[in-house]
Amino acid sequence: MSEKLIYIKSYGCQMNVYDSNRIKDLFLDKGYKITDDVNKANLTVLNTCHIREKAVEKVYSDIGRIKKIKDTNKDMHLVVAGCVAQAEGNEIKKRSPVVDYVVGPQSYHKLPDMIDELEPPLNSDFLQNEKFKNLIYNSSKISSEFLSIQEGCDKFCSFCVVPYTRGPEFSRPISDIVSEAKKYVSNGVKEIILLGQNVNAYHGATDDGKSKDLAYLINKIAEIDDVKRIRYMTSHPIDMKESLINAHAENLKLMPFLHLPIQSGSDQILKKMNRKHTVDDYLRIVDKIRNVRPDIAMSSDFIVGFPDETDKDFENTMKFIEKVKFVIAYSFTYSSRPGTPAQHKDNVELSVKKARLSALQSLLTQQQVNYNKSFLHKDMEVLFEKKGRYENQFIGRTIYNQSTFINSKEKLLNKILNVKITNSTNYSLECQA
């Protein structure tokens, strides 16, 4: 019998990338091989994202495309996994009968049994504990690996689907995380990126049942000799504890980069978003962390055109960005999401949303360009993670998470080197060894 091939497409956030890696591992263990060619796949998995409407539309258009392939490749099974599966499970089956299996983000460990018909073809249970115990953890990359430590969210921001799609907050036990990190570094990985929807709300248990925070976990992982770099994302301002801020001063393996979404620079809008923090709260955190780690690189997320956002609210967001200065940031126009409290209030015109997004992104790009320029001719430490588009080109990351490329005939993959920055473009740096 010929070997079975699995094709996986991941949409959305890093947590989905991590989940897709685990799905790959489950099926590699069953004897499948990975293919990049969906036409040849026996099993196609779409690991979907529900965060904005556009991401969902993309899934349905991909299902349409795969339906045509399935018409000729009768052996293929199609799985919709991830947050769209969780939110729209039954609807997907009704709207697209071509989909064979539907599985949510907290039950995908059951997928092999679903395909062997030992489990029903639709599962949207929240089985976080059981899931993590039944997954397989092999490294997919050579230098830097994502590691999910926390799932779900209890914060219920009024625009966000995550509490409904990923379920309640759940923290994995410390020893499970440490052994997963050890497994990755034993394969050569040098950087561990700890993931969670609210990663700094982490409160996992030790073997004797004591609850510990993210700073404790970071320090435990740093004790592993071969771990050279640690990062974490995504954090929420209300969970930015002193212990974590101090870890940035004390733990040299913890990279000086903080992704801390604020969403808006207007207190009125933050209140309507149910964010539970003010602009001043955020600024106080920035002060504290810059106090202990002056070179920390700040990053954030912004939503423009949230219901009732006025020109004045938006101006405040722009002033806030000018004040903090971000090295990078992600920004979106508000997208009304089913089942969220803000769903029916989408009252800012699309043209206004787009104009605000464009102004905000210009400001953020200018800040990023200025930041990158400030490193010209300086020495930086870079971990080279992958090959570039051109021969002898390698791409890596500085300690501040900037993308950096180099041309070299040496084998630089998975090496940490001190390099000189020779050029800065809008979104990346160029360097020489």
We find the least distance from the C-beta atom of residue 203 to ligand SAM, in angstroms, to be: 16
Nearest distance from C-beta of residue 258 to ligand SF4, angstroms: 15
Q: Does 198 bind ligand SAM (CB under 6 A)?
A: yes
CB of 261 to ligand SAM, least distance (A): 3
Q: How far apart are CA 33 and CA 296, in angstroms?
A: 42
* 317 touches ligand SAM (CB under 6 A): no
Q: How far is the CB of 160 from ligand SAM (least distance, A)?
A: 4
Answer whether 366's CB lies under 8 Å from 326's CB.
no
Cβ proximity to ligand SAM, 190 vs 277, nearer residue: 277
| Residues of the shown chain interacting with ligand SF4 in the complex, contacts defined by CB under 6 A | 153, 155-157, 160, 162-163, 197-198, 236
Q: Binds 337, which of ligand SAM, ligand SF4, none (CB < 5 to 8 A, cut-off by type)?
A: ligand SAM
CB atoms within 10 A of CB 2: 5
Q: What distance in Å separates the CA atoms of residue 24 and residue 30, rounded to the nearest whole number?
A: 10
22 binds, among ligand SF4, ligand SAM, none (CB under 5 to 8 A by kind): none
Say whether residue 101 binds ligand SAM (CB under 6 A).
Answer: no
Q: Does 52 engage in binding with ligand SAM (CB under 6 A)?
A: yes
User: Of 24 and 277, which CB lies nearer to ligand SF4 in the complex structure?
Assistant: 277
List the single partner that 156 binds among ligand SAM, ligand SF4, none, CB under 5 to 8 Å by kind. ligand SF4
| Minimum separation from the CB atom of position 35 to ligand SF4 (A) | 33
ω into 234 cis (within 30 of 0): yes
Q: Which is nearer to ligand SF4, 163 or 256 (CB)?
A: 163
Positions 252 through 311 that interact with ligand SAM (CB under 6 A): 261, 263, 301, 303
Among 219, 274, 335, 408, binds ligand SAM (CB under 6 A): 335
User: Which class for 322: exposed (0-12), middle (13-18), buried (19 or more C-beta within 10 A)?
Assistant: exposed
236 binding ligand SAM? (CB under 6 A):
yes
Answer with the entry of ligand SAM, ligand SF4, none that 163 interacts with (C-beta below 5 to 8 A by kind). Answer: ligand SF4
CA distance 324 to 287: 9
Residues 6+ away with beta carbon under 8 Å from 376: 421, 422, 423, 424
335 binds, among ligand SF4, ligand SAM, none (CB under 5 to 8 A by kind): ligand SAM
Q: Which candidate, 353, 348, 354, 404, places its Cα nearest to that of 375?
A: 404
Which residues of this chain interact with ligand SAM, rule CB under 6 A?
13, 51-52, 159-160, 162, 197-198, 234, 236, 261, 263, 301, 303, 332, 334-335, 337
